Amino acid sequence: MMDFLSTEEYEQETIRLALEGDHEAGREALVLCRTQLAARSLSPALSDYLAARLHDVLEGIKPDRALCIAKSPGKPADPYPDWQQELGAMAALLTRRGYKPNQIARALCDARALVHDKPLDEADAHGIRTKWGPMQAIDERALQHLAGSYWEILKEYPPLK
């Protein structure tokens, strides 16, 4: 046997979920408010909900957040994705070997295409070189280990100094 919610219970559950951050429930609560306002029969629970939401808008809270319809931004992108670590180590080793930034960027692009058959544009290569720049403080042996699948390619780049 299925349990069905009464209209009042449905409204209360929708409001509860909306206030907990469920943006779909927030949209549903607004649909309920709009429908009942148009019919001139806004329930007390939805009336209180709508009044509080409008108060928040008037207090300066962004409307999508105040009305509980803002989507969660999700997990922020990792500024140091794992796949870049080996390239960062390669860039640090090439810097130590005397290569210029443009040469390093081209080497990273070529290496990525060779090892993973995935393109890397020069702007991204410069970003990796810069972002992972602090790796230059790591000792040579550790960098060689961190270069992983790019270690063999580094043999093609002898020290320039």
In this prediction, residue 70 carries a pLDDT of: 86
Separation CA 58–CA 56 (nearest Å): 5
Confidence of residue 4 (pLDDT cuts 50, 70, 90): confident
**Nearest CA-CA partner of 35 in 63, 7, 13, 62:** 7
Domain ranges, ordered by start, for the chain: 9-66, 82-154
Task: Find the angle CA(58)-CA(61)-CA(63) to the nearest 5 degrees.
Answer: 85
Q: What is the pLDDT of residues 73-130, one digit of tens each?
A: 666 677 788 889 999 999 999 999 999 999 999 999 999 999 988 889 999 999 999 9
pLDDT for residue 1 is more than 50: no
Mean pLDDT of the chain: 89
